[in-house]
Structure 1
Amino acid sequence: MKALIRSLFAASAMAALAACATTDDSTGSTRSASSYGEPDAPYPSTYQRYPGAPTALVGATVYDGAGGRIDSGTVLFADGKVVGIGGPDLAIPAGYTRIDGAGKFVTPGVIDIHSHLGDYPTPAVDAHSDGNEATNPTTPEVWAEHSVWPQDPGFTRALANGGITALQILPGSANLTGGRSVTLKNVPARTVQGMKFPGAPYGMKMACGENPKRVYASRGPSTRMGNFAKNRQMWFDAQEYAAGDRDKRDLAKETLAGVLDGDILVHNHCYRADEMALVMDMAKEAGYKVTAFHHAVESYKIGDLLRENGVCSAIWADWYGFKMEAYDGIPENGALLQQAGACVIIHSDDANGIQRLNQEAAKAQAAGARIGIDIPDAEVVGWFTLNAAKAMGIGDVTGSLETGKMADVVLWNGDPLSVYSRPEKVWIDGALMFDAMDPQRRPVSDFELGQPGEGDVK
């Protein structure tokens, strides 16, 4: 019986991959040749885009992710790139597959800046718990990609239900310094290298507050002042390494030196406003920059400081009260940050939440409207597209619908800021990776094989 199940899964998985790989490709080849890859990196990206056909989405309401809206818009993409965006008068070249989007909406692919898919995969059992190297308060030497399980069914759920085309996988928040993050394209692959977003910079996860002082209470640090003392000493040691002889490999200090050199972006788990202000001061002392505070439930208290320091807040819409440092979380956080001119990102930190970042953004928008802060829909779409891309260091190639950028595109069956809407089609680099209307383009994992509507065997 087990052998039969394995063989059925293999057939189903290969069929799903083949359906994606041969989408609109008359040659019948699987994955297209590409110049993507980083051969000089120790764990290079081997990502190659799946093939797709030149496509014209016409008649839909288009949100470009950068604050623009086009009614009855046209989006053209071919060879993995956006080649044109405009109104109904935009000329459609010969040979393009035309898709009628009347009554529908188009956005850039949704991007989650804070995910643990693959490191805390489903099924959620101890054997799969690989996100926290909770053996030392500072572990900058670990890399999240070395724990990512590409077979996690959360990836396909995020694609199908949330329109997720790219995501950053972070270590957990048990550690003051948790290690390197990795940015992935949300495509089926046998290896994590096959999912790695080509050219994306690494991030480094840090955490402050309750989590590390609780986890390491028995051996220290056990207080917030202990947290800062440990981190400051780590940075002083890293400065010496960065300024000295790097011939002797030190994996921890290599990552920290990368941060000091500006090559690795700091993503800092932090809740309280006072701690965020202290962390920004510590960053100035040590010579690095915080790219984004994650969770950041009290960011609304220091929106001006965050704006002045160019630090984004990656937030939930309304998670509140689950621990002491979350008790000042308010649903108006995002709107108040937007009003202050600070960068707002909606993130998930959750295998279910990643499937509805669009709805979470709409909730935050509505909370603002209730206190008189009206934020246009086109700007709110940027909270889960371009703002996330910029903070991940990939905003020059994705996150908005602009000529020359990657054709990461979602066609929604209705207003993406409505609870009643969901992705109808999702393209990644111009390849149709999900189609709600086509069972052959609804990818499934082995844990879903045989479930109603998910890879049924006829």
Structure 2
Amino acid sequence: MKHTSSKLAIALACLCSTVSMQPIAQAEEQTEQAPHVSINTDPYPSTYTPISGKPTVIINVTILDGVGSRIENGMVYFADGKIVAVGETVDYSNDAVVIDGKGKWVTPGIIDNHSHLGVYPTPSVGSTSDGNEMTSPVTPGVWAEHSVWPQDPGFGRALAGGVTSLQILPGSANLFGGRSVVLKNVPSRTMQDMKFPDAPYGMKMACGENPKRVYGKKGGPMTRMGNVKGYRQAWSDAQNYMREWEKYEADYEAGKNPKAPKRNLDLETMAGVLNGDIRVHMHCYRADEMTVMMDMMKEFDYQIAAFHHAVEGYKIADKLAENNVCASMWADWWGFKLEAYDGIRENIPVVHAANACAIVHSDDELGIQRLNQEAAKAWSDGKRAGIDISMEEAWQWLSANPAKSLGIFDKTGSLEAGKNADLVLWTGNPFSTYTKAEQVFVDGGKAYELGNPDSWPLSDFEVGQVGEGDVK
């Protein structure tokens, strides 16, 4: 206190003679810790409420359970939104609605793990085209759900095709395109009312021609090696971001009163992948690129859930199986650009035969209406090539495997006791061109009935613009 005046020194001395210095000393030792900074990982929570349903049993029906079994003249009983029992005979409550499925088939609801409904809705006009944030090659911080337009008539058309759940992805212009969201396919006013409860988020990535084409004259990347450099730099930045937050948490626990790092929404999503909370879905056609991507996932220690399109998946089917990566594929789309040129119609059966996870996807607002027929084409092409896969095995491409890729197989994707009652009653063999979805149930509630036009979903956009006879 060498700069303190004599008068101030005398005042302090007088104060000390009347007030104990012990509490003051304690106060000097204690530094009030700043509030802990935490990040809300679910700021847009699901508000989904299942459609009300009645206990129901379907009898005398051919069952494909979604995990490789087939039951002739079987029974499926569901109540309170869940599958209760499946078998040749099952016990059911006296108040159950009984549906005679003689001559018909029942399957798990179709799950499309690659859709752009809502972000590229119909009608296809610029004002509703919200799937690609083409402002930077690295935009993992955008979320597809913030572009979903629930009025897209495509949702109802997909429901009529037996689709009960679907993943909505950003487009493939960017190296990192943003987060995806899994939706229940039920008519709704809001995205939150459709959001599949507790389904993990996905993150869209893209390799190959699309990022090159979009950014080649905008500062890059303009080559495939530039693509890979862009991924690796972004993953490295995400690792650094995680270390900053880990240090902050450690210092806070130690009482050091640290300053929290500035939030970065792009790196936050990527950190979610590296933590194992967000699943990577990667647009990729060529076998050589998919192999490089699997090497990169090992370098940065994350897991690719699925390669989407994977036109050359058949070339590396064994590597897909070894690395536990699904391939989400078209039945027969090929040749519309060079990286799609080397496709074969037996792609899906070849991947399946290698014990890899094969998926049929749409990537199209029309294809999603007939995914059962797309699977049938791939199945029959495999048969003609001598790849003998049963229908009950092949149905895994439409329900169990996409559910696994989305991290929701514990909830849906098969007709097993305890799982969500997401199922379709078909007018006949679902691999037939002439078969239609007769009744579609989501969580045990009837969401669609072929013979009851009044029950067909009609989006707000369509009201007053289409008549009853126009909705097919």
TM-score, shorter chain, exceeding 0.5: yes
Does 2:344 match 1:320? no
Taking structure 1 as reference, are residues 390 and 342 closer, same or farther at Cα in structure 2, changes over 3 Å only?
same
The equivalent residue for 1:123 is 123
Does 2:133 match 1:133? yes
Distance in 2 (alpha carbons) for counterparts of 1:274 and 1:130: 31
Could you list the runs of 5+ residues in structure 2 that have no partner in the other structure?
1-39, 247-259
The equivalent residue for 2:202 is 203
What residue identity is the alignment partner of 1:97? V
Q: State the shift of 1:442 in Å.
A: 1.1
Matches within 5 A, 1:4-403: 41-87=42-88, 89-160=89-160, 162-218=161-217, 219-245=219-245, 247=260, 248-403=262-417
The equivalent residue for 2:468 is 453
Q: Is the 8 A contact 1:448 1:455 kept in 2?
A: no
Q: State the shift of 1:243 in Å.
A: 2.0
What residue identity is the alignment partner of 1:60? V
Distance in 1 (alpha carbons) for counterparts of 2:447 and 2:464: 19
What residue identity is the alignment partner of 1:447? E
Q: State the shift of 1:40 in Å.
A: 6.9
TM-score (norm 1): 0.89
Taking structure 1 as reference, are residues 305 and 40 closer, same or farther at Cα in structure 2, changes over 3 Å only?
closer
Q: Is the 8 A contact 1:317 1:334 kept in 2?
A: yes
State which structure, 1 or 2, has the greater radius of gyration over its C-alpha atoms. 2
SS at match of 2:462: helix
Could you list the runs of 5+ residues in structure 1 that have no partner in the other structure?
1-38
Q: Is the 8 A contact 2:77 2:90 kept in 1?
A: no
Distance in 2 (alpha carbons) for counterparts of 1:225 and 1:265: 24
Q: Is the 8 A contact 1:444 1:455 kept in 2?
A: no
Distance in 2 (alpha carbons) for counterparts of 1:64 and 1:453: 34
Distance in 1 (alpha carbons) for counterparts of 2:394 and 2:468: 33
Q: Is the 8 A contact 1:168 1:184 kept in 2?
A: yes
Q: Is the 8 A contact 1:306 1:312 kept in 2?
A: yes
What residue identity is the alignment partner of 1:201? P
Question: What are the Cα deviations for residues 229-276 of structure 1, in whole angstroms up to 9, with x where unaligned?
Answer: 011000011011112227421111110000000000000000000000
The equivalent residue for 2:249 is none
The equivalent residue for 2:453 is 439
What residue identity is the alignment partner of 1:411? L
Q: State the shift of 1:453 in Å.
A: 3.2
What residue identity is the alignment partner of 2:61? A
Distance in 1 (alpha carbons) for counterparts of 2:274 and 2:314: 28
Q: State the shift of 1:455 in Å.
A: 7.7
Q: State the shift of 1:337 in Å.
A: 0.8
The equivalent residue for 2:426 is 412
Q: State the shift of 1:188 in Å.
A: 1.2
Distance in 2 (alpha carbons) for counterparts of 1:270 and 1:73: 41
What residue identity is the alignment partner of 1:302? I
What residue identity is the alignment partner of 1:138? V
TM-score (norm 2): 0.87
Distance in 2 (alpha carbons) for counterparts of 1:287 and 1:372: 38
Q: Is the 8 A contact 2:120 2:131 kept in 1?
A: yes
Q: State the shift of 1:190 in Å.
A: 1.1
Query: In percent, how many aligned pairs have the same letter?
Result: 60
Q: Is the 8 A contact 2:290 2:307 kept in 1?
A: yes
The CA RMSD over aligned residues, in Å, is 1.3
SS at match of 2:290: helix
Q: State the shift of 1:448 in Å.
A: 6.3
Question: What are the Cα deviations for residues 115-134 of structure 1, in whole angstroms up to 9, with x where unaligned?
Answer: 00000011100111100000
Q: Is the 8 A contact 2:132 2:173 kept in 1?
A: yes
Q: Is the 8 A contact 1:444 1:454 kept in 2?
A: no
Distance in 2 (alpha carbons) for counterparts of 1:245 and 1:320: 45
* Runs of 4+ off more than 3 Å: 448-456
Distance in 2 (alpha carbons) for counterparts of 1:237 and 1:286: 11
SS at match of 2:468: coil
Q: State the shift of 1:372 in Å.
A: 0.5
Distance in 1 (alpha carbons) for counterparts of 2:318 and 2:87: 35
Q: Is the 8 A contact 1:448 1:454 kept in 2?
A: no
Distance in 2 (alpha carbons) for counterparts of 1:343 and 1:72: 29
